Amino acid sequence: MEKNKNIIIGFHSGHDCSYCILENGVPIIHEELERITRLKEGNGDGLKLFLDRNPNLKEENLTYSHCFHCDGKSKSSAVRSLGDENLFDNMVKNNDYYEVGHHLSHAAHAYYSSRFNNSLIISLDSGGWDINSQNDPQVSSVAIYRGKDNKISPTALYPIHQLCVGPVWHESLEPLFGLSSGPPKGNQAGTIMAMAAIGKESAFEEIFYNSFLNIDNFKSYHPEIIEYINQHEDNKYNVAKGIQKATESIIKEIIKIYIKPEDKTICFTGGVSLNSVCMGKISEWFPQIEEVFIPIVPYDGGLSIGSAQYVYHHIQNNPKLSNDNYFKPYLGINYNKEIVNNAIEEFKDKVIVSKKNDDEVIKLLSNNNIVSIFNEKSESGRRALGNRSILADPRSNDMKDLINEKVKHRQWFRPFAPSILKEEVSNWFEYEVDSPYMGVVVPFKKEKRNKVPAVVHLDGTGRLQTVSEDINKWYYNFLKLWYKESGVPILLNTSFNDREPIVETPIDAIKCYLGTNIDYLYFPEHNILINKK
């Protein structure tokens, strides 16, 4: 580690365990435990994860930031997660150490990762500890902040019994829909969001809305809702539409309360901000809003990044990053060619290796092949953004069903994302947005929908990823090659995984490839293509 660098280690323990290394305000590494253990949203100790993965930094002069939880008390919660008070003391006794609140960490990750210098910030999730205006620890599900220049100021912190969007979703997943709400399968709220597009009516919308305001009696409605779902197969889609519509209504009301006439931007964060359907409607509801930003890791896995960013900018008073140092989402470890070749060698009896370039892989895609990509550093978060992606031709009428059934092994109605060249968005979607991390759902133009059926959801929308050269040069140029070949500036893009976290290592990639009906695995950085024997 070079001298005169300001290094902050952010860590978060519990579910979605992670750590982050912030260097002069720029996140250079962010790792989640689930990528290593291969168990979605697994519990763990963020500080131990950092030590295990970076033993060479143990003796460095570092600053630590921890997103507190459990009881909101500083050292006790960190030590409880670490399980070794002496080790904790030894780690921080000669270093600066800060505790940052749950929603404050979410807010910091959103605002300091954005290009905004003045923004309303709204954080919604299942709940966490923050310090309220009376300087007491409080569990909240919704918090409002404002960011200006390099500072974040609290505006409102709602007690969880007063406003709780995330907890109602959590209490609906398993009891009502039979879906997972945590490890090892992970939170499957996105499945409900996809189901909502099929619903013909918004069943129990009022009950869901009222439960957001007071969750105490929500479980008493479960038998009635379950009975309705059991009456007919289609009713579960109506219930999904009910909770989705109620969510959109309550979020619209929250924005109405806090938006000011001069506001042009909003940062949304917390697990609820993964509701990309709702996020895509904010600009429709409030035409004054020019841009909505959702960070790359809005759920609790991003708390380690946010706590470190808060210390660097707000506490240490460093300015926001310039556009030249803009936050990049590719924060994993880079696996060199030797590591890739060693991984391939382990499976030499099962794969054929050839040297190919981007143009040749484009031809494979145009011939209806499914190609998985393993390139450079992995992207943080749950959205594959070109470096750990499965790509396919969106023009195919059969591709969506094929990948759902043969590759992802998931429900038939689950949609796939369109990766689109940023400069082409206005030609394909009803309004122009910047969505580099697949944060919003937008309607396709009606005349374009039949051109890319594999990435158009049942209601005519798509959760788009806008691809620009400054964020991912390789993927941007690859898309341009595809546009020249196919006549459409869009590729089907879904995460490189099968019912487990996104692949992290070359070994993970080859195992997933061999266990599915993916046709090819491509390593663009090394021009290596493998296919099955």
Each residue of 419-472: pLDDT tens digit?
999 999 999 999 899 999 999 999 999 999 999 999 999 899 999 999 999 999
CA dist 402 and 174 (Å) reads: 27
- Examine the pLDDT at 287 and tell me if it is beyond 90: yes
- Examine the pLDDT at 225 and tell me if it is beyond 90: yes
- Copy the structure tokens of residue 394: 């969106």
Q: In this predicted structure, what is the pLDDT of residue 72? A: 42
CA dist 470 and 477 (Å) reads: 11
**Which residues 6+ apart lie within 8 Å of 106 measured at CB?**
123, 125, 143, 269, 270, 298, 302, 303, 306
One-letter amino acid identity for 523? F
Long-range Cβ contacts of 225-230 (<8 Å, 24+ apart): 225/176, 226/175, 226/176, 228/203, 228/204, 229/176
Q: What are phi and psi of 162, to 5 degrees?
A: -95, -30
Mean pLDDT confidence for 495-511: 95
**In this structure, what DSSP letter does residue 443 have?**
E
Using one digit for the tens of pLDDT, what is the confidence trace for 117-142? 999 999 999 999 888 888 888 899 99
Using one digit for the tens of pLDDT, what is the confidence trace for 153-193? 999 999 999 999 999 999 999 999 999 988 888 889 999 99
How many other C-beta atoms are found inside a 10 Å radius of the C-beta of residue 448? 17
Q: What are phi and psi of 128, to 5 degrees?
A: -170, 170
- Copy the structure tokens of residue 110: 């959103």
CA dist 44 and 27 (Å) reads: 21
Strand order in the sheet with 118-131: 151-159, 137-148, 118-131, 265-269, 291-293
Using one digit for the tens of pLDDT, what is the confidence trace for 42-99? 888 888 899 899 988 866 678 888 876 554 444 444 544 555 556 566 665 566 888 8
| DSSP assignments along 45-97, one per residue | -HHHHHHHH-GGGTTS--EEEEE--TTS-HHHHHHHHHS-HHHHHHHHTTSEE
- Copy the structure tokens of residue 153: 């100021």
One-letter amino acid identity for 155? T
What SS3 state is found at 291? strand
How many other C-beta atoms are found inside a 10 Å radius of the C-beta of residue 479? 25
Q: Which residues pair with 352 in a beta bridge?
A: 531
Mean pLDDT confidence for 488-497: 97
Q: What is the pTM of this model?
A: 0.93
Using one digit for the tens of pLDDT, what is the confidence trace for 304-322? 999 999 999 999 999 998 7
Q: In this predicted structure, what is the pLDDT of residue 88? A: 62
What is the overall mean pLDDT for the chain? 91
**In this structure, what DSSP letter does residue 302 have?**
G
> What b/e string do you get for 401-432 counting C-beta neighbours within 10 Å, with b at 16 or more?
ebbbeebbebeeebbbbbbbbbebbeebbeee
CA dist 191 and 195 (Å) reads: 6
